[in-house]
Amino acid sequence: MLKQIDQDSLIIVNEETCQQIVSDAEAFTAVQDIFAAMARDDAYNFPVIREAIGYADALYGFKSGFDKAGKTLGVKSGGYWPGNANKGLTNHQSTVFLFDPDTGRLQALVAGNYLTAVRTAASSAVSINALARSDAKVLGMVGAGHQSTFQLRAAVRQRAFEKVVAWNPHPEMLPRLQSVAEELGIDFEAVDREVLGAQADVIITITSAFEPLLKAEWIKPGTHLACMGTDTVGKQEVASALVAQATVFTDEVAQSISLGEAQHGIAEGLIGEQDITPIGKVLNGDHVGRKSDEEITLFDGTGVGLQDLAVACVVAKAAREQGLGTLAAL
Ligand code: NAD
């Protein structure tokens, strides 16, 4: 017998609908709330699995967690398929599964590619909102790939930025970032790294680098850095001396020290785990955050599964309310 489909049935939301219904502002709030819940121990991430599967050169894995306060339980599953571009598909592929924490029933299947970019941009935006100087005017962008335009759009909502200065190891990628800055009505200038450091009040790094791209001596006092590209063992975007010089915040300390930007400062003995503060503590009022206009603050945004679940939850709820997505019975 066919199962009855009703409002409580599983909802399936595709990429196009995700783009249609999740705004930067909603993603910001969802990510801010989940960082705060993590710092209160109301929400926690389960150990991450990521494996080279020995087929199609693919990396496959899952990130999972539970937010007791928001009643969000689920998993983001997917990874990286380097051959996809030749097939007209995105190399990064992911899907979020949300479960009812009271019963374990599958509640929602939400496409995860667009949401990954939105939740990553929301993460650095939360850090800028909490830690950047209020008079920040110049935004420095290091990186010009897929994530960079999302980062730029979310960042400019946090401060009255008047100018974007940008550098990328592959300069031919910069015009796409420039066109987004122009669309947002902000001056854009491609510069070298020393100039970027000398001008920027806030710097976002979002590259796949495995070596430091920014030196400590290039960064001026009072800068806030959001280091977003380093999410794997071995990756690195800024000098470990800069991490040691800065006051370091993160989404999750366990990831920051093992696979985030702080991994190198830790390995070299320049900083200890106790020097890294979960940003949720600042959001909850348990840490003051920036202490002076001269302090360099650095957010090590490693990316946690609960961010994905939080924005997927926003999407699933909105899709049900607006009659979007597809209802199905398992
Ligand atoms: P992309 O492939 O679209 O762009 C890659 C960027 O890195 C470009 O700016 C490119 O010029 C630069 N780059 C490539 N190879 C490099 C190298 N060897 N050295 C230095 N720079 C190099 O990638 P994307 O989707 O924009 O993602 C950028 C980074 O962000 C990746 O490392 C990705 O893993 C990471 N990421 C992090 C999170 C998080 O939550 N922290 C989430 C998504 C992606």
CA distances, 233 to each of 12, 103, 230, 261, 295 (Å): 34, 36, 8, 9, 28
* Residue of 84, 141, 208, 279 to test ligand 1 pocket, by largest number of atoms within 8 Å of CB: 208
What six digits make up the tokens of 99? Answer: 């479960």
In the reported structure, the alpha carbon of residue 98 is separated from the centroid of ligand 1 by a whole-number distance in angstroms of 27
For the residues 223-243, what does the mean pLDDT come to?
97
Amino acid in position 159: R
In the reported structure, the alpha carbon of residue 193 is separated from the centroid of ligand 1 by a whole-number distance in angstroms of 17
Residue nearest to atom 20 of ligand 1 (CA): 209
pLDDT at 8: 81
Q: 316: Cβ–Cβ under 8 A, 6 or more apart, which residues? A: 11, 13, 98, 107, 108, 110, 325
Q: Give the domain ranges of the chain.
A: 10-116+306-328, 124-303
Query: What are the pLDDT digits (tens) for 15-45?
Result: 999 999 999 999 999 999 999 999 999 999 9
Residue nearest to atom 17 of ligand 1 (CA): 209
Query: What are the pLDDT digits (tens) for 122-142?
Result: 999 999 999 999 999 999 999
pLDDT at 330: 84
Query: In ligand 1, which atom is closest to the CA atom of 230?
Result: 32
Query: In ligand 1, which atom is closest to the CA atom of 301?
Result: 41
- Would you say 74 and 309 are in contact if contact means Cβ atoms under 8 Å apart? yes
- Would you say 141 and 152 are in contact if contact means Cβ atoms under 8 Å apart? yes
CATH class of the structural domain 124-303: alpha beta
DSSP codes joined into one string, 258-296: HTSTHHHHHHTTSS-GGGEEEHHHHHTTSS-----SS--
Q: Is the CB of 124 under 6 A from ligand 1?
A: no
- Would you say 27 and 122 are in contact if contact means Cβ atoms under 8 Å apart? yes
pLDDT at 3: 67
What six digits make up the tokens of 247? Answer: 């006051």
Q: Is the CB of 228 under 6 A from ligand 1?
A: yes
Q: Is the CB of 206 under 6 A from ligand 1?
A: yes
pLDDT at 187 over 60: yes
Distance between first and last Cα of the chain: 12
pLDDT at 121: 98
Amino acid in position 298: L
- Would you say 105 and 169 are in contact if contact means Cβ atoms under 8 Å apart? no
Q: Is the CB of 303 under 6 A from ligand 1?
A: yes
Assign 164 a pLDDT band (cuts: 50, 70, 90).
Answer: very high
pLDDT at 84: 94
Burial state string for 164-178 with b = 16 or more CB within 10 A and e = fewer than 16: bbbbbeeeeebeebb
- Give the DSSP H or E segment for 27: helix 24-39
Active-site residues, by number, are 76
* % of the chain residues with pLDDT over 70: 99
- Would you say 101 and 133 are in contact if contact means Cβ atoms under 8 Å apart? no
Q: Which residue in 312, 255, 294, 281 sits closest to 122, CA to CA?
A: 312
pLDDT at 4: 74
What six digits make up the tokens of 243? Answer: 């991490």
For the residues 282-297, what does the mean pLDDT come to?
98
pLDDT at 2: 57
Q: What's the CATH fold of domain 10-116+306-328?
A: ornithine cyclodeaminase, domain 1 (3.30.1780)
For the residues 91-102, what does the mean pLDDT come to?
96
For the residues 229-233, what does the mean pLDDT come to?
94
pLDDT at 53 over 90: yes
DSSP codes joined into one string, 202-259: EEEE----EEEEE-GGGSPTT-EEEE-S--STT-EEE-HHHHHHSEEEES-HHHHHHT
Q: Is the CB of 229 under 6 A from ligand 1?
A: yes
Largest CA distance in the chain: 70
Pairing of strands 10-13, 59-67: unpaired
Q: Which residue in 30, 230, 45, 228 sits closest to 148, CA to CA?
A: 228
Q: Is the CB of 256 under 6 A from ligand 1?
A: no
For the residues 163-179, what does the mean pLDDT come to?
98
Query: Is 124-303 the same fold as 10-116+306-328?
Result: no
* % of the chain residues with pLDDT over 90: 95
Amino acid in position 266: I
Amino acid in position 208: S
Q: 0.85 cut: is pTM over it?
A: yes
Query: What are the pLDDT digits (tens) for 1-16?
Result: 556 777 789 999 999 9
Residue nearest to atom 14 of ligand 1 (CA): 208
pLDDT at 120 over 90: yes
3-state secondary structure of 115: helix
